[in-house]
Amino acid sequence: MQARRRASISERLRERFAQARRVVVLTGAGVSAESGVPTFRGGGGAAVWKGMPFSVISSAGMLQRDLAEVWAWFDYRRDILQSLSPNPAHVALARWQDRFEDFTLVTQNVDGLHQRAGSRDVVELHGSIWRARCVACGEHYDLHDEPQRTRPPACLNCGDALRPDVVLFGEMLPAGAFERALEKAETCDLFFVIGTSAVVYPAAALPEVAKSAGAYTVEINPELTPLSDLCDEVINGRAGEILPLFEVNSKS
Ligand code: BJW
């Protein structure tokens, strides 16, 4: 079906939204853009740090070659995040969890802003920048309250090295996370894909799965993506401006 592109919410979507029982939302970096978090792609460019494209620094190969540099990249980003706050898109999605019979928020973001806005039980496909993990025994460490320089230099359990608990290119997703997202995508009636360039797999397969299983699929993004033609509706706009509109003018 040819996607319809609109900058506001159609009556048809409002009806779907009012009647939906099982809703899944897949978010990407664009949802945090209005908080000031840089996206990876979009706007014609790709994130670069110290001259390295993020696809190099955020890769399994880099972790093997230079763990200290990978830590420096994530320390730098955690530092930026400390001064940023959730935006109206995060806040709107946190409200949605109490609105539907079954609501699942699946995110590719590692920034924790959904949780800070009040979202519970978020499926984090690519891990969290706020956790470290032992490369040997898998012990986890919460980095929220730890100033960067005092994080344990090594695992307190087995003494081996710690790494950021995020999913780098070429790594497997956390056990169970994709499976849970897949099950929800297969059984939902309304699926939103918001603020993702939809080029990273397996996350980008979820809207396709939902659509094939009969869900009404909606994309919210200021740019077109490889999923735009697949979706039943495409709202070309910023998540922080569009999502609050569902509440403001909702008929229900
Ligand atoms: C707005 C906005 C506003 C702006 N409002 N919107 C099948 C086919 C081909 C390749 C593969 C495949 N299956 C697996 C692969 C390999 C690979 C992959 O997908 N590669 C492709 C890129 C080619 N996938 C993997 O390696 C994954 N692992 C895996 O599949 O394991 C099994 C396996 C292992 C080994 C071999 C084979 C299979 C793991 C992927 C992990 C991705 N990790 C990263 C880094 C995380 C750590 C970190 O933070 O550094 O995750 S990469 C990066 O991309 C990050 C993101 O979560 C992810 C997605 O990016 P996202 O969220 O879409 O952001 P952007 O920047 O791309 O887009 C922003 C969008 O927002 C744009 O569209 C803007 O327009 C929009 N926007 N402002 C709304 N205000």
Mutate-to-test residue for ligand 1 from 35, 37, 40, highest number of ligand atoms within 8 A of CB: 40
3-state secondary structure of 23: strand
Residue 4: per-residue pLDDT: 47
Q: Report CA 95 to chain centroid distance, whole Å.
A: 17
Cα separation, 110 vs 130, whole angstroms: 8
Catalytic annotation, residues: 126
Share of the chain above pLDDT 90, in %: 86
User: Atom 11, ligand 1: which residue's CA is nearest?
Assistant: 201
Q: What is the mean pLDDT of the chain?
A: 92
* Strand 22-27, strand 102-107: pairing: parallel
Residue 11: per-residue pLDDT: 95
**What pLDDT band is residue 247 in, cutting at 50, 70 and 90?**
confident
Angle (nearest 5°) at CA 108 between 102 and 111: 105
Q: Is 238 in the pocket of ligand 1 (CB under 6 A)?
A: yes
Residue 5 pLDDT more than 60? no
Q: Is 40 in the pocket of ligand 1 (CB under 6 A)?
A: yes
Q: Is 98 in the pocket of ligand 1 (CB under 6 A)?
A: no
**31: Cβ contacts below 8 Å, ≥ 6 apart:** 89, 90, 93, 107, 109, 113, 114, 194, 195, 239
CB 239 within 8 A of CB 89: yes
Q: Is 29 in the pocket of ligand 1 (CB under 6 A)?
A: yes
Residue 8: per-residue pLDDT: 86
Q: How far is the CA of 201 from the centre of ligand 1 (A)?
A: 6
Residue 152 pLDDT more than 90? no
- Residue 68 CA: distances (Å) to CA of 17, 53, 71, 170, 234: 46, 17, 5, 19, 41
Q: Mean pLDDT over residues 224-248, rounded?
A: 96
Residue count of the chain: 252
**What pLDDT band is residue 149 in, cutting at 50, 70 and 90?**
low
Q: Mean pLDDT over residues 207-214, rounded?
A: 98
CB 5 within 8 A of CB 242: no
Looking at this protein, which amino acid is placed at residue 198? A
Render pLDDT for 181-193 as a digit per residue (tens, 0 to 9).
Answer: 999 999 999 999 9
Residue 153: per-residue pLDDT: 80
Residue 3: per-residue pLDDT: 55
Q: How far is the CA of 130 from the centre of ligand 1 (A)?
A: 19
User: Atom 15, ligand 1: which residue's CA is nearest?
Assistant: 201
Render pLDDT for 108-127 as a digit per residue (tens, 0 to 9).
Answer: 999 999 999 999 999 999 99
3-state secondary structure of 3: coil
Higher pLDDT, 8 or 245: 245
Q: How far is the CA of 230 from the centre of ligand 1 (A)?
A: 18
Render pLDDT for 159-169 as a digit per residue (tens, 0 to 9).
Answer: 999 999 999 99
Residue 42: per-residue pLDDT: 72
Q: Is 172 in the pocket of ligand 1 (CB under 6 A)?
A: yes
